Amino acid sequence: MVLELIPLGTLLTLLTSQVLETAVAAQDVLFEKESFRILSNFLQDIQPLLVELRRQDMKDSPAVRTALESLQDDLKKARTLIDTCTSKPKMYLLVNCRSIVRETQEITRNVGKSLELLALASAEVAGDISVNVSRLKQQMVSVKFQTSESKLLVINKLEQGLREHRTDQGFANDLLVDIARAVGIPVNASEISRELASFKREKEEAALRKEREEEAFMEQVITLLSRADSSYLPDSSNQTYWGRVRSIRNTVNTTKLILPLKSFMCPLTKELMVDPVSLVTGSCFERASITAWFAEGNTTDPVTQEELSDMTLRPNIPVRQSIEEWQERNYCIGILRAKSMLQSESEGEQKAALDELIELCQKNRTNKDWIVQEGLLVDIVKALKSSNRDIKRGSLAALLALVQKNKPNQELLVDAGALEQIVRCLGREAGVAKAAAALLLELLEGNGSMSLKIGRERSAILLLVTLLNGKDTEAAQLARLTLDKLSDEKDNVVAMANANWCSPLVRCLSEGKDDATKVVMANTLAALTLTDEAKTTMAEMQVVPPLVRMMELGKLETKVAAMRALQSLCSHRLIKGHIAKAGGVRVVLNHLLSGMSTLYVRENAAVILDTIAEIDGTEFFVDRSGTPLHDSETLENLLAVYENSLNNPLIRKHVLRTLLGLLSSSDSTQVRDTLRRLRGISLLLPMIEGHDRELRDCVVQILHHLSASGGSEIAEYMQKQQNYRALLKLLDNSMAEEVQIAAAGIIANLPQQDPVTEALVEAEAISILVEVLKTGTPKAKEAAVDALVRFTDPSNTKMQHSVANLDVHSLLVRTMYSGTVKSKARAATALGNFSKSTPSLCLEPETMCSCFGTSRAPKCKVHSGRCSVKTTFCIVEADAVSGLIVVMSEDRGAAAEAAVEALETLVAEDDTLQPAAQLLHNSDGISPLINILTVGTPELKEKAIRFLERIFVAKGMKEVYGNRSRIPLVDLATFGSHSIKKSAAKVLAQLEFIHEVSTYY
């Protein structure tokens, strides 16, 4: 076509069409597909640019015409190359693969340059189009194409064989199989013969074109591949074997190898020749040895000593064929001999037979098929059942040698029932297990159908996972590689997860291309019972992000599967953190709050939120950026879900548990204040009387947290409803510990108002709390004694009598020795409250008259009157002093403070000061006070100083304890806080030591 005669617009339209056609054609090229795919993509990018250039009304000019001609030439070259790669024989394309890739790269770059020339040739081209053209051209001229690695390996092997003059049949057989696999030719007689014939025709065409170099190279390739045993086809190979066996049985001893003829040995090396060549004199040598002889400067025949005028080396085909036939006969004899030994009863002979079979497989690929033809595969499989570990290991090694790079033998091995025996060997000692794993790995190489077959073998995956986790590093590596191959099948991945090897499952979740696979993996994960250690591993493998994506973006089935999987994982702290970091908490909240979500999705969302919030919930209730999600809006929405889910107790329960988890966090103040502001208390209070035990128990615990900053709202409701009994019922011993604790905690937090206290007394709260103090768990007792303190108010002795009459003193004293720290603190406070009332209730001893005479009632050691536990609440009579001293000695916090305050009530009155001080002295209760000056908290030290100040007023106490308290008091007066300095200085002055420390003030 004469381009000068075609209008410019028509020419642009024609080229645009050609570009598109070439791009489509390039997509269909299967040889070096990646290179042609890149070319096709670039051409597709060019097409719209040409359309835009046509719309620009470019002016016709020689420069534009030249650019268009250049582009058309490039397209013609591309079409020619595409036609070559779609019509030429695959073997021809393989040997020319590097030049094909180079030409594809060159065409791509030239097209880019031609396109830029076209844009530069016209001033009318718009700026944005010019920029796009320049960008595309830059990409095209800088692109680098690479020949596929698999093809390069085969070509390198072929060229190495040609350089080294490899003529042995085994090499030719292997090379032909490698070529077939590289170009996608089935390894069978008809296909390989057809491909070789096509390649030979290409060689003949090269000869007609007088392309001598190409013809010579192709001739070398054909000569090498012709050495293969009838294209390495099992049928022809088997015919050769049986022919050799018949000949052997008719002529020689079938158990004794045939010695080589002298003519088979190289005169120079005295070794068997592999590549025999002849000199002009007729002498025959190994090519490598005679080449070395000449390289040393020799010009004579080493055998005849004749001077050589021509040192050309000619392949000695007859000798080589004779050597190969001799080798084949010996191979056959070796196979027959191995069969006889393998079938014997001698374990030694069986082991020797296996070793010989392995050696035969290594010597020649054809021997593998001949061994199978002789029926030895079945015999080797039988040998796997031997109890002798050496025979078992040798059998596995022999099977490995038989099936390496031999798919037909692999299938025959499976048909022989070998998989079951091989799998059993995985559970044997390390050497046998490694051999079994190596064999399974070989079976999986390039054989997709084998993965499912092995996976279906009972315990195969479980044993591999066990091997993976074992101490033998080599066995573990083999197991890992085998498991990686098996993970191509979904069923195998599921089995691995069930065996506690979850890495493939996580990989499927992250990289799976279809939702169906991801759903299967997520459902599998949901069904697993995972230890904390396994969950940690899963978190480290990044299992959470893909599950969150599925939950957020997937279809309903995908969402549900992901949520079920997260349910099974999210109890673990590390998993919670990953869910929060991936933005999963927001996603779950959205599902719960959305009216578009199905009921099942909302229920699953509620369960997940509940679990995330369970421990330190506020830490994890954040979005992807770390912004808290427990704000007013979220909490209001959760309360609304609770209120609007009357017909769904499951959602209500988990929403309540979510709120409880947030309130139980260490930094829950904001949550508590927000819920109180949102009228959460008034919404939840009626549930105390509800019949749903789970909901009621959860509500009580929430109310306990909300009452921590004041229980007035609860008190108002209770007073209005006159229903304290509903709350007190929750203190029954049949209730769960946490419910008892919450109920008692609410009572403790109720306002200290007479109407509230009286209503509680009327509802028999005191006796119920005392019962908990008697029979409850340690934590329940702690809550009960905390609630009881309100009933020991010194300003209400009538109430105190009600408590004392229930023998509460003995329970409080017992708590001093066996309660929790908080229990001890509250018990000490209660005893202190009682003790404050004792002086006003204590009576002077009266004369008691009776018909038998006159006597005096015994006096209290401290109060000098008639004291008793139930009438005057005396802690001395209750034997509480020792317990309080123990607490003061052992604790350094709130319990010690409460104990100090309780004991201090004994010295509060002047009348009781001296006997109380003496009692404390006799009970060794003053020394712990002095110790507190050194090791206590600032608050505790200040209380101890005040206590000591009072004690030192008592007669004789300064003399006994003054010197011992001097040094700690001086330290406090020097280094303590302002108030402590002042108090310590006052006591030092009292002890008349102030002059010794005056320099510090």
Q: What is the 3-state secondary structure (H, E, C) of 557-621?
A: HHHHHHHHHHHHHCCCHHHHHHHHHCCHHHHHHHHHHCCCCCHHHHHHHHHHHHHHHCCCHHHHC
pLDDT the model gives residue 888: 94
Burial class (CB within 10 angstroms; exposed 0-12, middle 13-18, buried 19+) of 815: buried
pLDDT the model gives residue 142: 84
Instruction: Return the structure tokens found at 302.
Output: 């080493």
pLDDT the model gives residue 1000: 42
Instruction: Return the structure tokens found at 778.
Output: 């340690």
How many C-beta atoms lie closer than 10 Å to residue 857's C-beta? 13
Instruction: Return the structure tokens found at 591.
Output: 């599902």
Which residues have C-beta within 8 Å of that of residue 936, sequence separation ≥ 6? 892, 896, 944
pTM of the entire predicted model: 0.67
The b-or-e profile of 166-176 (16+ CB within 10 A means b, else e) is bbbbbbbbbbb
pLDDT the model gives residue 258: 85
Secondary structure of residue 917 in the 3-state scheme: helix
For residues 228 and 364, give the distance between their C-alpha atoms in angstroms, rounded to a whole number. Answer: 12
DSSP 768: H
**Rounded to 5°, angle at Cα 440 from 435 and 445:** 125
Tell me the CA distances in angstroms from 83 to 205, 426, 948, one per residue in order: 17, 52, 109
Which neighbouring-strand residues pair with 853?
850
Instruction: Return the structure tokens found at 639.
Output: 């309360």
> What is the rounded radius of gyration, in angstroms, for the C-alpha atoms of the chain?
48
Residues constituting the chain:
1001
**Rounded to 5°, angle at Cα 904 from 902 and 910:** 135
Residue 660 · residue 701 · CB < 8 Å? yes
Amino acid at 446: G
For residues 539 and 262, give the distance between their C-alpha atoms in angstroms, rounded to a whole number. Answer: 71
Dihedral, CA atoms, 216, 218, 220, 224, nearest 10 degrees?
-170
Residue 446 zone, left/alpha/beta (φ > 0; ψ -120 to 50; rest): left
For residues 567 and 572, give the distance between their C-alpha atoms in angstroms, rounded to a whole number. Answer: 10
For residues 32 and 11, give the distance between their C-alpha atoms in angstroms, rounded to a whole number. Answer: 32
Amino acid at 643: E
pLDDT the model gives residue 158: 86
For residues 362 and 360, give the distance between their C-alpha atoms in angstroms, rounded to a whole number. Answer: 5
DSSP 689: G
For residues 730 and 31, give the distance between their C-alpha atoms in angstroms, rounded to a whole number. Answer: 80
Considering only CA atoms, which of 397, 365, 363, 369 is closest in space to residue 383? 397
Amino acid at 911: D
Listed in sequence order, the DSSP H helices in 685-736 are 693-706, 712-721, 724-728
The b-or-e profile of 960-987 (16+ CB within 10 A means b, else e) is ebbeebbebbbebbeebeeebbebbbbb
pLDDT the model gives residue 114: 83
Which residues have C-beta within 8 Å of that of residue 270, sequence separation ≥ 6? none
Pairing outcome for strands 284-286 and 853-856? unpaired
For residues 674 and 668, give the distance between their C-alpha atoms in angstroms, rounded to a whole number. Answer: 10
For residues 173 and 622, give the distance between their C-alpha atoms in angstroms, rounded to a whole number. Answer: 65
For residues 595 and 645, give the distance between their C-alpha atoms in angstroms, rounded to a whole number. Answer: 12
Instruction: Return the structure tokens found at 199.
Output: 């390649």
**Rounded to 5°, angle at Cα 577 from 573 and 579:** 115
Instruction: Return the structure tokens found at 740.
Output: 């008892």
Residue 496 · residue 483 · CB < 8 Å? yes
Listed in order, the ranges of the chain carrying CATH 3.30.40.10 are 234-328
Which residues have C-beta within 8 Å of that of residue 88, sequence separation ≥ 6? 202
pLDDT the model gives residue 176: 81
CATH of 234-328, one of 3.90.1820.10, 3.40.640.10, 3.90.79.10, 3.30.40.10: 3.30.40.10
pLDDT the model gives residue 7: 73
Amino acid at 118: L
Considering only CA atoms, which of 801, 733, 811, 793 is closest in space to residue 768? 733
Tell me the CA distances in angstroms from 870 to 858, 883, 996, one per residue in order: 16, 19, 49
Instruction: Return the structure tokens found at 945.
Output: 């100083």
For residues 826 and 884, give the distance between their C-alpha atoms in angstroms, rounded to a whole number. Answer: 12
DSSP string of 142-206, one letter each residue: H------HHHHHHHHHHHHHHHTT---HHHHHHHHHHHHHHHT--SSHHHHHHHHHHHHHHHHHH
Residue 481 · residue 439 · CB < 8 Å? no
Residue 66 · residue 124 · CB < 8 Å? no
**Rounded to 5°, angle at Cα 26 from 21 and 31:** 155
Count helices and strands (H / E) in the chain: 55, 5
Average pLDDT by consecutive 10-residue portion of the chain (1001 residues)? 64 85 87 86 84 72 81 89 87 87 90 79 63 81 84 86 73 81 74 78 80 80 70 54 69 75 94 92 94 94 92 87 87 89 91 93 86 89 92 95 87 89 92 94 85 89 93 93 92 91 91 87 92 91 95 92 94 94 95 91 95 92 91 93 91 95 90 90 88 92 89 84 85 89 93 89 93 93 95 93 93 94 96 94 58 57 88 94 94 92 94 94 94 92 94 93 92 91 92 56 41
Burial class (CB within 10 angstroms; exposed 0-12, middle 13-18, buried 19+) of 722: exposed
Q: At residue 276, what are phi and psi to the nearest 5 degrees?
A: -70, 135
pLDDT the model gives residue 941: 93
Pairing outcome for strands 314-315 and 847-850? unpaired
pLDDT the model gives residue 689: 85
DSSP 114: H
284-286, strands of its sheet edge to edge: 284-286, 276-278, 314-315
How many C-beta atoms lie closer than 10 Å to residue 323's C-beta? 22
Residue 446, CB half-sphere, CA atoms under 13 Å: how many? 11
Residue 420 · residue 459 · CB < 8 Å? no
Residue 94 · residue 175 · CB < 8 Å? no
Residue 544 · residue 584 · CB < 8 Å? yes
Considering only CA atoms, which of 652, 732, 657 is closest in space to residue 702? 657
Instruction: Return the structure tokens found at 741.
Output: 């604790």
Considering only CA atoms, which of 660, 731, 723 is closest in space to residue 695? 660
Residue 65, CB half-sphere, CA atoms under 13 Å: how many? 10
Residue 43 · residue 23 · CB < 8 Å? yes
pLDDT the model gives residue 854: 44
